[in-house]
Amino acid sequence: MARKSSSDSGGFLFKTGIFAVLAGVAFWLFNQFSGKKTDEPANTNTSTEMPAKTEQPAEQASVSKVPENILPASTTGEVVRHTWFTLSYNEDHEQAEWVAYELTRDRLNENWAERPNTFRPDPEVRTESATPRDYTGSGYDKGHLCPAADMAFNETAIDESFFMSNISPQVPAFNVGIWRELEELTRDWARKFNHLYVVTGPIFSVKELGQIGFSKVTVPGAYYKVLYAPDQQKAIAFMLPNSLSERPVMDYACSIDQVEKRAGLDFFPSLLKGLDEELEGSLDEDAWPIDRKRYEERLKTWNRK
């Protein structure tokens, strides 16, 4: 038998080496892509859930503590719920058509939180609220609908009362005069009756006083305040012109029905039903005592002419 030459032997060894390398590469590729990795332990957790987030759940400032059954019907569909008051925003007028909240004796007896005076746009208003700059140089006050003093029992409450959605342009002599007196009387009545449901807002059907600012904020011709004492089954409402007044507050008292017709709203639809509807059409001024000294103080010092 003929002997193989050295070149034949070298070629055989070369081919054998190539085959071995290719086999090794194939084995490595099989381990990499055939399922579980051979160098990692089997995963016994078959769940596909993502790791639990460490974020705090749902305790948000926007979780409202205002009873839903005290809210009027909204004509705009944009109801904004803050922690201690709820409002219906009217984009056409860049302010709330109503603000509703509960006022209690216990809250009024709390130590008052510091007044922040940080007026700012309301981030919860989908269509964007007015801004403080709209009032700059206008000659009108940033008048609270839900008073800061009614929210002073809690830092969050009073802070949220400075959202511009809760603000409306008021004649200064009105804001610091008869409007202030009515707000203070409302707190008197809340202490007397233990708690009140309060709804406040502008009246756009009365001749408006123009518009202010880049946002074209309507200056209302009048305002209303509707009060309901559920424990005593008493109700009263007020409509006041946005101007200086030297008349007694009770000159502006009226029934809830009258405000509903003028403002185009339905107050306490979930509460004043059946026999209770009589409260909407009645007015008993004697059930709501007033402090005559406060009226005299308004005439002497609060009214600015």
On whether the CB atoms of residues 15 and 23 are closer than 8 A, the answer is no
Enzyme catalytic residues: 144
Task: Please give the Cα distance from 225 to 125 (Å, whole number).
Answer: 23
DSSP 8: H
Q: What is the DSSP string of 50-87?
A: PPPP-S--S--TTS--S-GGGPPPPSSS-EEE-SS-EE
Q: In the structure encoding, which two tokens stand for residue 46, read together?
A: 């078959």
List C-alpha distances in Å: 305 to 87, 111, 141, 174, 212. 32, 34, 14, 10, 22
What amino acid occupies position 13?
Answer: L
Question: Residue 87, Cβ neighbours under 10 Å: how many?
Answer: 31
